Amino acid sequence: MLDVKTKSQDSIAIIEIDGEVDLYSSPALRKALLEMTKAQNKAILVDLARVKYMDSSGVATLVEALQQVSKYEGKLKLANLRDAVKNVFELSRLDKVFDIYESIEDAKKSF
């Protein structure tokens, strides 16, 4: 199962995901992200350190959230992508669309 935790630090809404994001589990991620975008969180940071696998439905969920955030001029950033997940973003050419950081600290400083 996918474990999705949310917390707030320095006015940044951080979402920590643990597990594999696929067609089965991506609705849980979508629900958490939609709650954040409905609340119009201006700064959302997705920590992917514990995500070993992400399929296109997971990527689509993040794209949808990015589009929602841009509607109210917020920011959504990604951090700690493992190689397998990074490859999916690169193959989809979405590594140029998302702001991706090597660490949570780097991402937090960028807001």
Partner 1 sequence: MSEIEIKLPSDPKFLKIIRGGISHISEICGFSSEESNAVTSAVDEAASNIIKHTYNGAKNKLIIVNFRILEDRLEIVLRDFGEKVDPETIKSRDLNEIRPGGLGVHLIKSTMDVVNYDNSFEVGNQLTMAKYLPGKKEK
Yes or no: say if 59 and 88 are a contact pair by the CB < 8 Å rule: yes
Length of the chain: 111
- Residue 94 contacts partner 1 per CB under 8 A: yes
Q: Which of 22, 28, 75, 99 touches partner 1 (CB under 8 A)?
A: 22
Q: Which of 61, 76, 78, 107 binds partner 1 (CB under 8 A)?
A: 61
Tell me how far apart the alpha carbons of residues 15 and 4 are, in angstroms, rounded to a whole number: 7
Q: Could you give the residue ranges of the DSSP H alpha helices within 4-55?
A: 26-38
CA proximity to 16, closest of 7, 25, 27, 24: 7
Exactly one of 17, 20, 41, 78 binds partner 1 (CB under 8 A); that residue is 20
Name the residue nearer to partner 1 (CB basis): 30 or 108: 30
User: What residue ranges bind partner 1 (CB under 8 A)?
Assistant: 20, 22-24, 53, 55-57, 59-61, 63-64, 67, 83-84, 87-88, 91-94, 97
